[in-house]
Structure formats: structure tokens, C-alpha cells
Amino acid sequence: MNKKRAWLPYGLLALAVGVVVLLAWANRDRLNPVVPGSSFPDFVAYDLNGETATKSDFRGKVLLLNIWATWCAPCKEEMPSMQRLREEIPDDEFEILAVSIDQPSGDHQPTNPLGGRLRAFADSMGLTFTILHDPSGEISETLQTTGVPESFVVSRDGLLFRKITGPTAWDAAQNVELIRRLLEG
């Protein structure tokens, strides 16, 4: 009887390790970090007409994907530099995708108090690049963001080249040069 009890802690440990391994395997897609050099994950968002947009819609293009919200002051400060970058590089092989995580207009939640009016916001700022919307915030979970704004530069082959947390001057010389280098291949 004593020999059976001596193995009990080891048996429980083996069972616990097995459960952890099984959980990790079952959640392997969620455990892949979104880091430079990794394949950029697929996403689903909606354009201002309610049409679905996914990563595959932009296959073969260099992407600047920005996660933002209308209530985010740093996002508002960053948007004009994104517009200037779009004007500096009007190449059809380069897309700026600004994905709002605002709730639908009129909705009110403590974490998103305003429920953005995206078309009015884009028009008021003179934005001509693609504005997308993900009111579920699923894209934030998929991309493992920590807040807004957060931006991702994706190469033509779908690899994440750079991840930037916080606002950035997208029209700064080093960012313009980065996009141009990615467009050249």
C-alpha cells in the first residue's frame, strides 16, 4: 500500500503536465506571437459600406495596418501623418488600412464611450486611405494589441515586418523609406 502512495504525487504531476500540454496544443493558434518575421494573421473587418475586408483582399501588397479609435487622442494626432504618407506614396501596391475598434454609432460602453461615426471622422480629417471597422474588437485579440494606436507594416509576401505601439510620424523620412524599400522588394 505504501508503494502505491509513493507514486501518487508523480502520477498527479504527470497528469497535470499532460493537461497543460493538451491545452497548449488545443490553443496553439492563439499562442503564436505576432512578431516581426512571423506570418501576419488573417483578419476580418468591415469597410464603411459594411462590406467584409480580409487580409487576402490585399494579397501581394505592402500594408500599413493601423488599429485606432475615434476617442483616442494619439490616434487623432497620428492620422494626418498617415494621410501625408499616402500622398507621398500613391502606389497601388501600397495600402493603408486604418481599422477602428469603435463600437457602432450610438452604442455606449465604459471602454469605448463614444461609438464612433467613422465616415464623418474620416471626412473631417480629409482621410483618403481605407477606413475599416471592427466593432467586436476581434482584430485586437488576433493581433495581440495592447492599446491604440498600434500599427503593423506587412510585406508583400504577408510577413510582419514591423510592429509599432503608440503614435508614429508616418511621413517621417525613415518610414517613407521603409515603405519604398518594401515596395521595391
Give the span between the Cα atoms of 105 and 90, in whole angstroms: 31
What pLDDT is recorded for position 92?
Answer: 96
pLDDT of res. 91: 92
Please report the pLDDT score of residue 40 as a whole number.
Answer: 96
The confidence score (pLDDT) of residue 28 equals 60
Q: Which residues contact 138 (CB under 8 A, 6 or more apart)?
A: 43, 44
Q: What confidence score (pLDDT) does residue 143 get?
A: 95
Q: Is the pTM of this model over 0.85?
A: no
Q: How far from chain centre, in Å, is Cα 160?
A: 11
Model pLDDT, residue 175: 98
Location of C-alpha cell 450610438: 106
Task: Report the C-alpha gap between 36 and 84 in whole angstroms.
Answer: 25
Cell matching residue 38: 512571423
- Residue owning grid cell 488573417: 42
Contact 73, 55 (CB under 8 A): no
pLDDT of residue 29: 57
Q: What pLDDT shows up at residue 2?
A: 62
Mean pLDDT per 10-residue run, the chain (185 residues)?
70 80 68 87 94 96 97 96 97 97 67 68 95 95 95 97 97 98 95
